[in-house]
Structure 1
Amino acid sequence: MERAQLLDEYIDVYMKSLKYLDSFVSEPAMKYKLSFEQYLIMHDIAQQSNVTLARIADKRGVTRSAISRQIKVLLKLDYIYQQRDETDHRRQFLRLTPRGQQIEAILAKVAVKRFGGWLDIFGEDRAMDLLEFIREFSNAANLENKSQTL
């Protein structure tokens, strides 16, 4: 197979798999007026204590303003609230409201169930191999990006 044809095949698989991965959680999340990114923010808040806007932006590798836009929606929907840090009043922690906790738990359960279906089909070993390949690919792509910007 020629490299150009192989590239086209990779792009095709990439586009189809991303559409599926996006609908993986975003479809159930739409019921609660949430995007996939907004659910991920809620999931981070549920999984960690003392989460800040800056920490989420750093973790995702995006700007703070991008996360801020998502947080504004979550605040408006009353799924999260901000709590001022008692030791540093400039910092605000993100917390789930009781309704936010309930919705995040429902969506997390759906995601685990759907992912479990994949594991039933492909097996854990194959899933781990794929995860390792994606990590290696991501690391190589990030290194290439950094070397091109220097």
Structure 2
Amino acid sequence: MGLIMAEQEESLLDAFIDVYMNSIKYLGEFVSEPAKEFHLSFEQYLILRDITQNTNVTLMDIASKRQVTRSAISRQIKVLLKQGYLQQRPDENDRRRLYLLATPAGTRAERVIRQRINSRFQGWIDLYGDDRVHEVLDFIREFSQVTRMKK
């Protein structure tokens, strides 16, 4: 009985690896495609989105929200600054604090990318239906929570 169970688990693992290699990995590419024209990664787009949707955003605000290091966000911000999508403005009361602001080019890029992402996502909803999309989201959330608790 133990050998049959081990073979079933191995077969399940093989199926999971196959799904990852042929589907889940593609999901990242699917999501990041709309930002490529603007030479942005999906993560950089998300940072740009946060900045366009909020006021007085600092590098530390973004790092805290994403639960990553300041240096990880700093690298992404440098790209956005270099490409002219962001600018920095010192706080009038504390010149050491720098606020991040979207430039007109950054605002336009965020809007176009958001529209493309929304269109792609709507295509998923049209194809699979609202209920199925919610089921998948609920499963991914549950999977993520359980996986994090077991670390």
Give TM class, smaller chain.
0.7 to 0.9
SS in 2 for 1:31: helix
Could you tell me which of 42, 51, 56 is aligned with 2:48?
42
Count residues with an aligned counterpart: 145
Q: Distance in 2 between matches of 1:17 and 1:49?
A: 37
C-alpha displacement of 1:12: 2.4
Matching residue's letter, 1:93: Y
The residue type paired with residue 108 of structure 1 is: R
Shift of the alpha carbon at 1:87?
4.1
Check 1:9–1:85 CA distance in 2 against 1; reply closer, same or farther (3 A cut): farther
**Match for residue 27 of structure 2 among 21, 28, 39:** 21
Shift of 1:141: 1.0
Q: Which residue of 1 aligns with 2:126?
A: 120
Task: Please report how far the alpha carbon of residue 33 of structure 1 lies from its aligned counterpart in structure 2 after TM superposition.
Answer: 1.4
Question: What CA RMSD, in Å, does the superposition of the two structures yield over aligned residues?
Answer: 1.8
8 Å contact from structure 1 (residues 25, 107) kept in 2? no
Q: Give runs of aligned pairs for residues 79-118 of structure 1, distance below 5 A.
A: 79-118=85-124
User: How big is each residue's C-alpha offset from its partner over 1:69-123, in whole Å with a ceiling of 9 and x where there is no partner?
Assistant: 1110110011011122334443222111001000110000000000000000111
Partner of 1:148: none
The counterpart of 2:64, out of the listed 34, 58, 61, is 58
Matching residue's letter, 1:113: S
Cα drift, residue 135 of structure 1: 0.9
Output the amino acid matched with 2:66: R
Larger Rg: 2
Instruction: Report the equivalent of 1:6.
Output: 12
* Displacement after TM superposition at 1:6 (Å): 1.2
Q: Does the C-alpha gap of structure 1 residues 12 and 99 become closer, same or farther in structure 2, counting only changes over 3 Å?
A: same
Residue equivalent to 1:129: 135
Note the residue ranges of structure 1 that are not aligned, 5 or more in a row.
146-150
Q: Name 2:3's counterpart in structure 1.
A: none
Say which SS state the counterpart of residue 75 (structure 2) adopts. helix
* SS of the residue 1:50 aligns to: coil
